[in-house]
Amino acid sequence: MKTGKGSGIIGDLEYKQPGVKLVYWLIFAAMIIVSAICIFPALWVIMSSFKDIKEFYAIPPTIIPRSFHIEKVWQTWNEFRFMKYYVNTGYLTLGAVAFCLLFNGLAGYFFSKLKPRGSGFIFLLILWTVLLPNTVGMVPLFSNIVDFPLLHLNLTNTYWPMWFMAAVNPVTILIFKNFFDTIPVSLIEAARIDGSTKLGIFFRIVLPLSVPVLITITILTINGVWMDFFWPYMVLKDQSQWTVMVAIYNLKATLPMDIQFVALTFAIVPPVLLFLIFQRYIMQGYSIGGGIKG
């Protein structure tokens, strides 16, 4: 869109034309409408969680509560011990981030800088997996979780299955590879001449130069793990291991509707705060590959 100083899709000269100005404001209005449609459901859930039970079931419903009952938030938090589910989700998230960055980063480094014979074909196979529907691998994956190959371990009620899944992500590997391609080969060759090993180059040269992509993937992984429901629900049967999403689903039968909305607020707020705080890095993730100067 128009950004001034002749940059962006619409420059200053084009914007002065009536037709271009009309198109600009039509697109701007359309974006506002789409944003409102996306924001309204989450905002309505959060606002409704503060209503009393009579207003909650009132017809027609109110968008802005007539009275705010903040105490419902603390009562729900303490009564259903949501701190425990937050801790479980945080533990799952930390492991997923560690596995994602380490193994997908190593894979991107393998395909970008090492490039042994046959790596191009292997990379092509990995990209082909993106085209497969997620439902294709659900049954084989779950059977491997119940009876882990070779070791014959039952990994249910553990976080290992979700960590293993985070360790192999074709899209993340592609992002890492594209970013590592921008790192000058001269730096890699200089490190080899100095006697650094391949892993040493990865940890001492490549990763320090990849802070933008590391931050972006970390944020996206945290958001993805926090909002994940299917696999935690399938794997975590013990209540002591439940994540926030699994706890809200399993407890809904025992919660009144207004308290369910309070619980949903607990699930909505952290990703929203994460985006608001780190939105600059998230937006940067869509333009990775601009190169490294120096």
Q: Look at residue 5 in the predicted model and tell me its pLDDT.
A: 45
Confidence band, pLDDT 50/70/90 cuts, at residue 176: very high
Q: How far apart are CA 119 and CA 156, in angstroms?
A: 34
Candidate ranges 77-91, 169-183, 276-290; pick with highest mean pLDDT = 169-183
More confident residue, 5 or 95: 95
State the chain's mean pLDDT as an integer: 82
% of the chain residues with pLDDT over 70: 91
- Are 231 and 166 in contact by the 8 Å Cβ rule? The answer is no
Q: Look at residue 116 in the predicted model and tell me its pLDDT.
A: 87
Residues 217-235, mean pLDDT to the nearest whole number? 90
Domains of the chain: 12-70 (no CATH), 75-287 (1.10.3720.10)
Identity of the residue numbered 282:
I
Give tens-digit pLDDT for 247-279. Answer: 888 887 777 777 788 888 888 888 888 877 777
Q: How far apart are CA 109 and CA 207, in angstroms?
A: 10
Q: How far apart are CA 204 and CA 194, in angstroms?
A: 12
**Which of 51-60, 72-81, 185-194 is predicted least confidently?**
51-60
Q: How far apart are CA 185 and CA 69, in angstroms?
A: 60
Q: Per residue, what are the HEC states of 169-228?
A: CHHHHHHHHHHHCCCCHHHHHHHHHCCCCHHHHHHHHHCHHHHHHHHHHHHHHHHHHHHC
Identity of the residue numbered 175:
I
How far CA 291 is from CA of 101, 162, 288, in Å, comes to 20, 33, 8
Residues 207-215, mean pLDDT to the nearest whole number? 89
Give tens-digit pLDDT for 147-168. Answer: 777 777 888 899 999 999 999 9
Q: Look at residue 292 in the predicted model and tell me its pLDDT.
A: 41
Q: Look at residue 284 in the predicted model and tell me its pLDDT.
A: 60
Identity of the residue numbered 92:
L
Give tens-digit pLDDT for 59-74. Answer: 787 777 877 777 788 8
Confidence check: pLDDT of 114 > 50: yes
- Are 69 and 52 in contact by the 8 Å Cβ rule? The answer is yes
Q: Look at residue 64 in the predicted model and tell me its pLDDT.
A: 79
Residues 163-190, mean pLDDT to the nearest whole number? 91
CA trace torsion 219, 221, 226, 228 (10° rounding): 150
Confidence check: pLDDT of 2 > 80: no
Q: Look at residue 23 in the predicted model and tell me its pLDDT.
A: 83
**Which of 3-17, 112-126, 140-154, 196-210 is predicted least confidently?**
3-17
**Which of 69-73, 143-147, 171-175, 280-284 is predicted least confidently?**
280-284
